[in-house]
Amino acid sequence: MLKNDLFLRALKGETVQRPPVWMMRQAGRYLPEFRELRDKYDFFTRCETPELAAEITVQPIRRIAPDAAILFSDILVVPRAMGIHVELKDNLGPIIPNPIRSLADVHKVYVPDVNETLGYVFDAVKLTKEMLNDEVPLIGFAGSPWTIFCYAVEGKGSKSFDTAKGFCFSNPAAAHTLLQKITDTTILYLKEKIKSGVNAVQIFDSWGGMLSPVDYQEFSWKYINQIVDALADITPVIVFGKGCWFALGDMGKSRASALGVDWTCSARNARYLSGGNITLQGNFDPSRLLSPIPTIKKMVHEMIDEFGKDKYIVNLGHGILPNIPVDHAKAFIDAVKEYGN
């Protein structure tokens, strides 16, 4: 049905003429048409209004034409639905005015009826699917339980998430109760997103790399793996763990369809660590899009040579930065389409 199914074929590990490409955070501030809407509507209004979310999702498809769309939303809509108040402050990022710091706080957080609390996301998925007209697949996403937990406990962004880690190590029972509630909500949420029409899902474990390999197993991977197991029969799942190269071995043995890697891990190491058989996604340094266009194109071709064109999805190693010129973002996409020509 899809006119361009390269992305789904790479997720299945099929042989392709060139790898598919999309960019994490491709619907965002580097696009002037995005900034126009951002100046008119606050962040959660953009997330909660299906017409706005759908329009923002297709903006990069029109402008730079990647091989997949990712629904405009945020990982923080999930804790909001669980009764945790989240604000987004300009230049400060997310703020949770009453962070979770005790077992009593954990008991106040609930697993919601996702249709009641997150119905706007499912409406946005349906509307976006109509607007995309089967041109490219649509990716849905959620934060990993650990990454959501980091914000819920720390109360804000952080370089090290010491408070969140401290809560795990000093009060593990309470931490696990909260992580399980987030996991249960995320499974319900992603199942409904899939029912509404997304073609694949990605779990963003942006702060997994804050944990030691042993703690990662206990506080992050264990919960991500529950989500993967719950969804693997109904849709392809991509796991992106920023800084989590040490967990690629376990991830490669799971039922995930693909694994994201950041730019600190070479293609060769990522293939070796993940067992050599699973589709990998990544890992261009987002700052490298500030290089001159001919350099970007050359480096993208070298990256494809290193990962190999099969079982590979070209992407950045993390989200695109707001200061990237649009023609540089487009050069990244074009370079992949020109590969092998």
Q: Which residues lie near ligand CP3 (CB under 6 A)?
A: 24-29, 38, 43, 70, 72, 74-76, 88, 93-94, 141, 143, 157, 204, 206, 319
252 is annotated as contributing to ligand binding? no
CB atoms closer than 10 angstroms to residue 105:
17
Catalytic residue flag (residue 74): yes
Tokens 């990716």 sit at which residue? 139
* Complex with ligand CP3: residue 95 or 293, whichever CB lies closer: 95
According to the annotation, is 268 in a ligand binding site? no
CB nearer ligand CP3, residue 243 or residue 252: 243
Is residue 114 packed enough to be buried (19+ CB in 10 Å), middle (13-18) or exposed (0-12)?
A: buried
Is 18 tagged catalytic?
no
For the CB of residue 135, give the shortest distance to ligand CP3 in the complex, in Å: 17
Place of tokens 């707001």: 322
> Shortest gap between Cβ of 305 and ligand CP3 (angstroms)?
26
Q: Please identify which of the residues 5, 9, 18, 25 carries the catalytic annotation.
A: 25
CB nearer to ligand CP3: give 149 or 204: 204
Q: Supply the minimum distance, in Å, between the C-beta of residue 52 and ligand CP3.
A: 11
Q: Which amino acid is at 330?
A: K
Strand 87-89, strand 93-95: pairing: antiparallel
- Determine which one of 41, 74, 101, 105 is catalytic: 74
Q: Provide the β-strand partners of residue 283.
A: 315
Q: What is the DSSP letter of 142?
A: E
Q: Which of 5, 9, 63, 151 is catalytic?
A: 151
Is-catalytic flag, 25?
yes
Residue 151 annotated to the active site = yes
38 included as an active-site residue: yes
* Distance (Å) of CA 245 to CA 200, 239, 277, 287: 22, 12, 16, 20
- We find the least distance from the C-beta atom of residue 162 to ligand CP3, in angstroms, to be 17
Residue nearest ligand CP3 (C-beta atom): 206
H-helix segments, the chain: 6-12, 32-40, 43-48, 50-63, 77-81, 103-108, 114-132, 145-154, 162-170, 172-196, 213-216, 222-231, 248-253, 267-273, 293-307, 326-337
Q: Is 29 annotated as a binding residue?
A: yes
Q: Tell me if 25 is assigned to a ligand binding site.
A: yes
> Which C-beta is closer to ligand CP3: that of 213 or that of 322?
322
Nearest CB to ligand CP3, comparing residues 77 and 271: 77
Residue 241 phi, psi dihedral angles, 5° rounding: -110, 110
User: 74 labelled as ligand-binding?
Assistant: yes
28 among annotated binding-site residues: yes
Catalytic residues: 25, 29, 38, 74, 151
